[in-house]
Amino acid sequence: MVPCIEARSLNLTFTPKNRDPVTALQGFDLQVSKGEFLTLVGPSGCGKSTFLNGLLGLLKPDSGELSLNGKQINGPGQERAMVFQEFGLLPWRTVLANVELGLELKGVAPLIRHERARELIQLVGLESFQNHYPHELSGGMKQRVGLARALATEPEVLLMDEPFAALDAQTRDLMQTELLQIWERTKKTVLFVTHSIEEAAYLSDRVVIMTARPGRTKNVFKIDLPRPRDYEMRLTPEFNDIKATIWSSLKDELGTKAAGNGI
Amino acid sequence: MAFKSFFSDYQRLLLGMVSVIGVVLLWELVFTYVIPLNPFFFTKPSLIAAAFKEQLVSGTLWKDVAISSKAFLLGFSLAVIVGIPIGVFMGWRRRAEYTLDPFFTALYASPLVALAPLLIIIFGVGLTGKVALIFLLAVFPFIFNVFAGVKCTDRLLVNVVRSFGGREKDIYFKVILPSIMPYIVAGARIAIGRGIVGILVTEFYAASEGIGFAISRFGDTYRLPDMFAAIMVLMIMAVVLTEGLRKLETFLTPWKTGQEAR
């Protein structure tokens, strides 16, 4: 079976504004199956976000292979959509118009895209806010809009770049559970990036630990918790064992990074 | 109690009116009872009002306002049409910025009214010369404000539009244009002031009609009440334009309302 997403000995460099290019990924390998919820965890700057931008088609690999359903990724496409950490909502557009953005760029007729956007706004529970502007919404609501916008184009793969990092702890817990519910209903392939071990363990089928920069795959953990999962599961000893295992793999990388930076 | 809440609801308006009326009244009273008025050097509100009424009735005022407004609107519109695309181009294309910036910075910093004699030599004393100077004065605030606005465009939003398959055209129209709208309005505010200076300078310098010409002619002939009436008209025009711009701003940038304290 062809994996949905495949990266093989991938090298990716990116150039921060006014700085020298940085090798973010070197010899990176990853396979994600269709319908899987996979999370990348690694030290800051290990290339997690760079990888998502590569998958999204905004960055080109220097060498190696990066493919979706067996086809080389060449720029953005409808099968992929990203939920951004900083939301990335257009401030001059209402919730409805923001959710419609992808459909509009695809050239979908106004009536059809209104209807489709309304369905998704309902899915994320923002019916009564569809004519509000982003600045009138809370962080959690903004990210719901971000999620609805990504789902609106019916992508096969949902890329989520630390989507809940800017939210407060309670909103974050709530959004995680809602995301799982939506994922179970829509059965998308999700590639999720986070710094939180707890979040990774709670959401994922598999958690991939990455090394410090340049990022490679260090360990892959299969999370054998039953689904559907709920918040109480996070209070069990099994869940704590999983967290401890992931932490023991991750902590060496954090050390290397700190040593490398002379902190 | 009712009076108190009425006062707090309308205190901005009330205090504004009281201050304007108070100053006018003081001016009138001082030159009626305290300092004897020498009509060759100064004037007072009642005389200005009489002159204003006479000009209104005789129709000369309307003609001057129409002539000057036409030049202003043409020059200003041209500045909008030319300035915004140049600003966007300079802001989005680094090479365009490096090429054009020294030239435009020098022009923006210089007192362009110095070019008035040249423009009159080239275009003559009519409408074209006025439009040319108003355009030159008003175009740079648009160029530089739009340029700054484009530079401040959120890269994340550009990436969002790209990630959904947006092309260069979509980035211009769905990200850059809306995000520079407040900068365009701020540029327009500066351009209005500069444009009015443009009207005055050309009409002072060489013209046979228009509000600037009226002011200078009344001044030359010591008709101070008439001169003040014309200046007042110019002030009213400036206020109307600025207020109109404020209304236009809330219409063009509805997402900004409530975001900042007004």
Give B167-202 pLDDT, tens digit per residue.
999 999 999 999 999 999 999 999 999 999 999 999
Predicted confidence at residue A262, as pLDDT, reads 40
pLDDT band at A214 (very low <50, low <70, confident <90, very high): confident
pLDDT at A47 over 50: yes
pLDDT at B261 over 60: no
pLDDT at B89 over 80: yes
pLDDT at A160 over 90: yes
Mean pLDDT of A121-132: 94
Nearest CA among B255, B258, B157, B248 for reference residue A95: B255
Which residues on chain A are in Cβ contact (under 8 Å) with B254?
A: 92, 133
Predicted confidence at residue B255, as pLDDT, reads 84
pLDDT tens-digit readout, B215-258 = 999 999 999 999 999 999 999 999 999 999 999 998 888 887 65
pLDDT at A252 over 80: yes
Mean pLDDT of A179-202: 93
The angle at the Cα of B237, spanning B247 to B18, to the nearest 5 degrees, equals 80
Mean pLDDT of B117-124: 88
Compare CB distances from A105 to B165, B181, B258 and report the shortest one's residue.
Answer: B165
pLDDT tens-digit readout, B1-24 = 566 677 778 888 899 999 999 999
Mean pLDDT of A233-249: 93
Taking an 8 Å cut-off on Cβ atoms, the answer to whether B156 and A86 are in contact is yes
Tell me whether strands A189-194 and A157-161 are parallel, antiparallel or unpaired: parallel
Q: Where along chain A do its domains lie?
A: 5-79+157-260, 89-154
Which residues on chain A are in Cβ contact (under 8 Å) with B258?
A: 135-136
CATH T-level assignment (fold) for domain A5-79+157-260: Rossmann fold (3.40.50)
A6 beta partners: A31, A67
Which residues on chain B are in Cβ contact (under 8 Å) with A78?
A: 165
Tell me whether residue A206 is exposed, middle or buried, using C-beta atoms within 10 angstroms of its C-beta: 0 to 12, 13 to 18, 19 or more: middle
Which of B94, B163, B177 has the highest number of chain A CBs within 10 A, making it the mutation to test binding with A? B163
Tokens of B262: 């007004």
- DSSP label of A135: G
Taking an 8 Å cut-off on Cβ atoms, the answer to whether A105 and B157 are in contact is no
The full set of domains in chain B, from first to last, is: 46-256 (1.10.3720.10)
State what percent of residues in chain B have pLDDT above 70: 96
Compare CB distances from A135 to B160, B166, B255 and report the shortest one's residue.
Answer: B255
Mean pLDDT of B136-159: 95
Taking an 8 Å cut-off on Cβ atoms, the answer to whether B156 and A88 are in contact is yes
Taking an 8 Å cut-off on Cβ atoms, the answer to whether A88 and B157 are in contact is yes
Query: Which residue of chain A is at minimal alpha-carbon distance from B182?
Result: A92
Taking an 8 Å cut-off on Cβ atoms, the answer to whether B162 and A81 are in contact is no
Residues of B at the A interface, defined by Cβ within 8 angstroms: 156-157, 159-166, 170, 174-175, 178-179, 181, 253-255, 258-259
